[in-house]
Structure 1
Amino acid sequence: MKKFDFKKENKHYYLPKNKPEIITIPKMNFIAIRGKGDPNEVDGEYDHALKQLYTIAYTIKMKGKELPGYFEYVVPPLEGFWWMDGIKGIDYQHKELFQWIAVIRLPDFVTKKAFSWAIDYATTHKKQDYSNVFFFTYDEGLCVQMMHLGPYDDEPKTLAIMNQYLEEQGYAPNFEYRMHHEIYISDPRKTAKEKLKTVLRHPIKKRID
């Protein structure tokens, strides 16, 4: 039986071209965990958060087959929402100031009740505390996005291209209620830095001159 693959079925969300485009993203549900600090810190808060995130993701995938509406699927890619207090956008020179929500998209059959079951199941069987993992609904709305190719530290170059495109199209970034968004198409443990693929997405609004 063919497994549903979000990247293939929703290519417009996960596999944009390496040039800017404006897109409206619908409301989606996620497994989420919140934290702060440099994601590159070895054995740091971000590393521990991802382990918890994937535990719940695979609990639902492997143990949730009796849930109403269940279908076979590929676990969607890791995503992240990033911000810094008092800064519009991201300052890549001060990663220790990062605030983040790491997320993995949920299939639509996963209700809040089913999600609570997965947390309880993992807590009981793994004998660990997963209370920091939560059900997160995000209505992203109007955005600009682009595929970034290469190291994460080179993202400002791609963001500059996106911002120039917004200027030309009469739009501006809008971080008032929404966040810098990244979708990690490549696994950095298995992919050379120069070949990494990361979707970069920013919330936008029509510019009022």
Structure 2
Amino acid sequence: MKIDLKKTIPSYSARHGQFSLMQVPPLQYLMLDGQGDPNTSVDYSDAVSSLYPVAYVVKFLSKTELDRDYVVPPLEALWWADDMTAFTTERDKSRWHWTVMIGLPDWLDAEHVETARERVRHKGGAPVLDHVRLETLEEGLSVQTLHVGSYDDEAPVLAAMHTEFIPAQGLRRTGRHHEIYLSDPRRMPAERLRTILRQPVERDSA
């Protein structure tokens, strides 16, 4: 049976028009870091085009050598800026920092990733292959919602999450803004894109 992590891990689900609190389990990802406008940055396109080959070769290894098949999870990203207004209100993408990520099931480890990396290296076409890393992300308590529409229309939703919902719940932000891309922008019109917006939080002790 092919496992779909989106269906087995509750934090891959969110409701449109509703903020919800949930406990996100520790999850491991293939990751790559960078900075700049994702629409124009060569670094961003290089990162994405290096993550996917590794992710699919690891999946092939899992299926053929471990007899455990799974659906490659969607692309995800952490986003931040030195001044977060560049992300939530001004949308100055040139000032954004990011970590692009693809999840891996917990039965896979660094040895599998390294084997996959060497196979991808022989094929070529992954420009920043050596910078792909495996890391566990521990977000814990988080607020999330489902955004339907263009990425550029996220700002009002994020503002409401950060300045209204989170303080009203006696919480404060801790980790980095997290997006999970449930739709492929190459195949879906912008107004129908589905993206989970997540913000790790903690109880405000003040």
Does the TM-score normalized on the shorter chain lie above 0.5?
Answer: yes
Q: In the alignment, is the contact (CA less than 8 A) between 2:30 and 2:51 conserved in 1?
A: yes
Corresponding residue of 1:79: 76
Q: In the alignment, is the contact (CA less than 8 A) between 1:90 and 1:180 conserved in 2?
A: no
Q: In the alignment, is the contact (CA less than 8 A) between 2:50 and 2:126 conserved in 1?
A: no
Q: Select the residue among 183, 186, 206 that pairs with 2:203.
A: 206
Corresponding residue of 2:97: 99
Partner Cα distance (1:142, 1:89) in 2:
25
Partner Cα distance (2:61, 2:12) in 1:
26
Deviations 1:138-166 (A, max 9, x none): 11111111111111111111113323222
Q: In the alignment, is the contact (CA less than 8 A) between 2:19 and 2:161 conserved in 1?
A: yes
Structure 1: where are the runs of 5+ without partners?
A: none
Of Structure 1 and Structure 2, the greater helix share is in 2
Q: In the alignment, is the contact (CA less than 8 A) between 1:20 and 1:161 conserved in 2?
A: no
Q: In the alignment, is the contact (CA less than 8 A) between 2:86 and 2:95 conserved in 1?
A: no
Q: Select the residue among 177, 185, 189 that pairs with 1:192.
A: 189
Q: Single out whichever of 122-131 and 78-87 deviates more from structure 2.
A: 122-131
Corresponding residue of 2:22: 23
How many percent of aligned residue pairs carry the same amino acid? 34
The verdict on how the C-alpha distance between 1:7 and 1:208 changes in structure 2, with shifts beyond 3 A counting, is: same
Equivalent runs, 1:32-43 vs 2, <5 Å: 32-41=31-40
Runs of 4+ in 1 over 3 A off after TM superposition: 63-68, 86-89
Partner Cα distance (1:85, 1:196) in 2:
27
SS of residue paired to 1:65: helix
The verdict on how the C-alpha distance between 1:134 and 1:113 changes in structure 2, with shifts beyond 3 A counting, is: same
RMSD: 2.0
Q: One-letter code of the match for 2:77?
A: G
What TM-score do you get using the length of structure 1 for normalisation? 0.88
- C-alpha displacement of 1:48: 1.6
- C-alpha displacement of 1:86: 4.8
State yes or no: 1:57 paired with 2:52.
Answer: no
Partner Cα distance (2:126, 2:173) in 1:
40
The verdict on how the C-alpha distance between 1:87 and 1:194 changes in structure 2, with shifts beyond 3 A counting, is: closer
Corresponding residue of 1:142: 141
Q: In the alignment, is the contact (CA less than 8 A) between 2:61 and 2:112 conserved in 1?
A: no
State yes or no: 1:115 paired with 2:113.
Answer: yes
What TM-score do you get using the length of structure 2 for normalisation? 0.90
Partner Cα distance (2:25, 2:52) in 1:
23
- C-alpha displacement of 1:64: 4.1
Corresponding residue of 2:170: 170
Structure 2: where are the runs of 5+ without partners?
A: none
Q: Single out whichever of 154-163 and 99-108 deviates more from structure 2.
A: 154-163
The verdict on how the C-alpha distance between 1:200 and 1:100 changes in structure 2, with shifts beyond 3 A counting, is: same
The verdict on how the C-alpha distance between 1:102 and 1:14 changes in structure 2, with shifts beyond 3 A counting, is: same
State yes or no: 1:183 paired with 2:180.
Answer: yes
Q: One-letter code of the match for 1:205?
A: E
The verdict on how the C-alpha distance between 1:128 and 1:4 changes in structure 2, with shifts beyond 3 A counting, is: closer
Partner Cα distance (2:15, 2:156) in 1:
16
